[in-house]
Copies of this chain bind each other. A is one copy, B any other.
Amino acid sequence: MTINDVAAATGVSRATVSLVLRDEPRVSDETRRRVHEAMERLGYVYDRRAANMRTQRSMTVGLVVTDVRNPYFAELAMALEVVLHDLGYALLQGYSHDDREREARLLEVMVENRVDGVVLLPSKDTTAADLHQRVVLPRMPHVLLARPVVNHESDYVGVDNVKAGRLLGEHFAAEGYGRVAFLGGPRSTARSDRLRGVRAGLARHGVKLDAKLSIVTSAERGGGIAAVQALLEAGPLPEAIAAYSDNVALGIFAGLRAAGIDPGRDVAVGGFDDIPEASLTHPSLTSVATFPDRVGNEASRLLLERIATPDIDPRRVILPPALSVRGSSTTLRRSQAA
């Protein structure tokens, strides 16, 4: 069932059917009506692939994220999808599971399918060389999300992670915590920026963060549990814990409880991202918001502009974070009140 059939049934050429399909004005109303009637009667369905093939576009965008079970990435993926779908784009999506090689295969599939552009949340160890081969050489318009890749020049949307860390560090110091740990998360620019920020924030109040109290894990909840175990084996409980992310912080909550320690009472906890759960846990979780919906909106805007004009200089959009103080980081206040 193709435009050939519709053309034959209507007694016009298939060029005319094509014009009707795309609502070109230069077809007479009568012809238009008869073509529509035939399409309806024959159950014709537009073949967008064939059209794309001819026009050399695809009206499809690729989205690669690591893991959508992480609420922050879920929010991000949905924000992007809403914008792109409403503009008529379809979304080819894949999950890298934070694995470089899986990510490479996903990008390959997207390039082979000639998506118009790709939005990528890089895996923890994606290199500039990886991206060079997978997206730069094929001249694929792309935007990186949340995690910058060193030495890779491209559009990027993320949050000011150093500032985010500083907000949490200053808050901890202002609350009076003297011994602070930074737990969880894979080695990455995002992690080292947040850690550096926490250090700087604490330092402003004369507090130091012991290097031994930084523990690297996966970005998953289990990473938080593992980090707590390592922390407790290494020495006494700190007064406050900065978690790599809220997702990790939820694992830290569970890990602490498993060890008989009450988060928010025996030790303060703060995270990053301000996922919806942060305000629903008990105690509610102090967190630095990193606005996935804004990141998603900015990313789709940058990508569409990049697709329209491929040769403009790479742009970096760095969004400001915001601290939300909640019950998990006010242990001292509470004990002083008691």
Contacts and interface: CB of A to CB of B under 8 A. Distances in A.
Nearest to A88: B109
Interface in A95-113: 95, 102, 105-106, 109-113
A257 interface: yes
A92 B68 CA distance: 15
A333 interface: no
Contacts of A254: 279-280
Contacts of A114: 47-49
Interface in A16-49: 43, 45-49
A301 interface: no
Interface in A74-88: 74-75, 77-78, 81-82, 85
A137 interface: yes
Interface centre among A75, A92, A105 (most CB of B within 10 A): A92
A332 to B, nearest CB: 21
A298 B111 CA distance: 29
A192 interface: no
Contact of A43 (B50, B106, B137): B137
Contacts of A110: 90
B85 A106 contact: yes
Interface in A186-224: 221
- Chain A: number of interface residues, binned into ranges: 35 or more
A72 B145 CA distance: 24
A81 B75 CA distance: 18
Interface centre among A46, A250, A280 (most CB of B within 10 A): A280
Interface centre among A91, A105, A138, A221 (most CB of B within 10 A): A91
A58 interface: yes
Given A67-B78, A106-B85, A45 B112 contact: yes
Nearest to A52: B49
Contacts of A94: 81, 85, 90-91
A13 interface: no
Contacts of A257: 282
B138 A45 contact: yes
B43 A53 contact: no
A89 B194 CA distance: 37
A71 to B, nearest CB: 6
B74 A68 contact: yes
Interface centre among A60, A69, A257, A279 (most CB of B within 10 A): A69
Q: Nearest 6 CB-CB pairs, A to B?
A: A48-B112, A254-B280, A93-B93, A69-B74, A68-B74, A46-B112
12 contacts: A45-B138, A49-B52, A49-B113, A71-B71, A81-B94, A85-B94, A91-B92, A221-B280, A251-B280, A277-B277, A281-B282, A282-B282
Given A69-B276, A82-B95, 17 more contacts: A47-B112, A47-B114, A48-B113, A49-B53, A49-B114, A50-B53, A53-B53, A69-B71, A69-B78, A74-B74, A81-B94, A90-B109, A90-B110, A93-B93, A221-B276, A250-B277, A277-B277
